Every structure is written in structure tokens, then in C-alpha cells.
Amino acid sequence: MSESTNIKPVAKKSISVIQSEVQSTNKIALSVDCVIFGFEDNKLKVLLIRSDIKKYKGMWTLLGDLMQPDEDLDQAAYRILSERTGLDNVFLEQVHTFGSVDRHPAGRVITVAYYSLLNAQNHKLLTEANELHWHDVKEVSDLAFDHQEIFETCYKRLQKRILENPLGLNLLPKKFSLRDLQNLYESTLNTKLDRRNFRKKFFAMDLLTDTNEMEEGVPHRPGKLYQFNYKKYEKKKKSWTGIDFSSVGGSD
């Protein structure tokens, strides 16, 4: 995963700009919204920004932007992620397109929702460069526009996907303990899992490599650290029906 330090603070598009872009044509405008998940303090988080349009002043919203006519849909989603976070090569999957007539106060704007999984190691970069804040997914409420619905749809999708594919590894640092992994699953699925059975199941997938390193500085017996084994994953993936793990997700 490449990391870039030159994150551009993104100039917010004023509502008048959006209005002119939308209404000048009396046509439908298209935007992309990204639900960006991260994992910090053993909690699943989502990245939000404050709305600056009058109707929703001060409320939180997802990260999004209008599509450009000369970019592919997936490219637009990548662009938004890249502009906001400085990261590329992150996991991204299209989820659903929302198109109620009245979903946007500035006019007819249809939005394609994606979710994305970011490695926690890059959190600090993000929140400094833009006015972004991580929110515990359990506490997300009253988002602006229809973003609450979009968020919930994407969150459900993630919960479903993580049971079918080892996507969660995108959220963890390169080296992690099995407890880290279990915490991720538990906070994503909002449930408790049996520690021994979780181990058994994950090891049976045979996707983890023992780094021969241990946790350090923990006030208890330290756990082994593992790495995700991409090669094994790529081999197995062929026999699965699942989506791609490390780049843009397919359509299902």
C-alpha cells in the first residue's frame, strides 16, 4: 500500500457552485459518496466531515464530490479518496446508487455510494489535512442529506462481506495479533466471538503468516504477530466467487 504525505486540503464546493452545475442543465447530476471505515482503539470508525450547506449546517456528512464527465465512475471514487486522504491503492467497493428526487436540496443529484477500508496507521495524516473526524460507527446518527441511509447500507454490506472474505485485514496494520483481528470482527459485527473457535476458523483459511515476532509492552502474556499472506489469498480467491480483496471490488 503506497502512502503519500502530500494530502491536499480540498476546497469545499459551495452550494451555489453545486446549484449552478446542477440547475443550469435541468438535468441530473451525479456524485460519488464514500463511506470510509477505519479501525482505532479497537473500534470500527467511519470518516465524516461537517456539512457546509445551509440546510444541514453543522451536521456530519460522508465524503463525496460531483463526478467529472471525463472520468470513469470508479476513478471518481478513487479520486475522492485520494484527494481526501492522500492514499491510493485502498480497498474500495461500489455498494448502491441512491436516486430519490428530493435527496439533495440543490437539485437533482444522484449519488453512487462506495465503501472503503483504510489502514489505521494512516489516521493522523487524514484528520490533520482536512476537517475530517473519525466517528465510532455505533454513534453515527443524523447525518445530513440521506447520508444516514447510505452509511447504514454500506455498513451492512461490510458486515456481510467480512463474513465471506477476509476484507478486514485491510483495516489492520501489517503486523497484528490474532486478538486484534478478533477485536476487529467483534466491533464490526457488534457481537462477541469465541476466542478458540475464531482462531480455529481463521487458521483453517490458511491466510496468515507467522512473523516470529510477539506483541511487546502488553500487561499480559504477549501474543504472536501475523501478516496477511497475499499470495495464498490470490490462489484461493480463484476458487471462490468473492470479490477482489486488494483493489476495487467487483459488482458483487
SS3 assignment, position 21: helix
Nearest Cα neighbor of 161 from 251, 239, 88 is 251
Does 87 bind a second copy (CB under 8 A)? Our answer is no
Q: Which residue in the block uniquely carries the three cell numbers 480463484? A: 238
Nearest Cα neighbor of 109 from 15, 31, 52 is 31
Residues 11/19, Cβ–Cβ less than 8 Å: no
- Which of the choices a second copy, DNA, none does residue 251 contact, using the CB cut-off of 5 to 8 A by kind? a second copy
Q: Specify the residue, 14 or 211, whose C-beta has the smaller distance to DNA.
A: 211
Among residues 195, 211, 213, 235, the one that binds DNA under rule CB under 7 A: 195
Q: Which helix (H) or strand (E) holds 149?
A: helix 147-164
Q: How far is the CB of 182 from DNA (least distance, A)?
A: 8
> Which span sits near a second copy by CB under 8 A: 42-50, 100-108, 121-129, 204-212?
100-108
What one-character DSSP code corresponds to residue 3? B
How many residues are present in the chain?
252
Q: Specify the residue, 94 or 119, whose C-beta has the smaller distance to a second copy.
A: 94
Interaxial angle between packed helices 195-205 and 178-189, expressed in degrees from 0 to 180 and rounded to the nearest 10 = 110
Nearest Cα neighbor of 167 from 92, 78, 80, 227 is 92
Residues 249/92, Cβ–Cβ less than 8 Å: yes
Q: Specify the residue, 156 or 174, whose C-beta has the smaller distance to a second copy.
A: 156
Does 196 bind DNA (CB under 7 A)? Our answer is yes
- Which of the choices a second copy, DNA, none does residue 70 contact, using the CB cut-off of 5 to 8 A by kind? a second copy
Does 212 bind DNA (CB under 7 A)? Our answer is no
Q: Specify the residue, 221 or 231, whose C-beta has the smaller distance to DNA.
A: 221
Q: How far is the CB of 197 from DNA (least distance, A)?
A: 4
Does 194 bind DNA (CB under 7 A)? Our answer is yes
Q: Which residues bind a second copy (CB under 8 A)?
A: 25-30, 67, 69-74, 76, 94-101, 108, 110, 112, 153, 156-157, 160, 241, 250-252
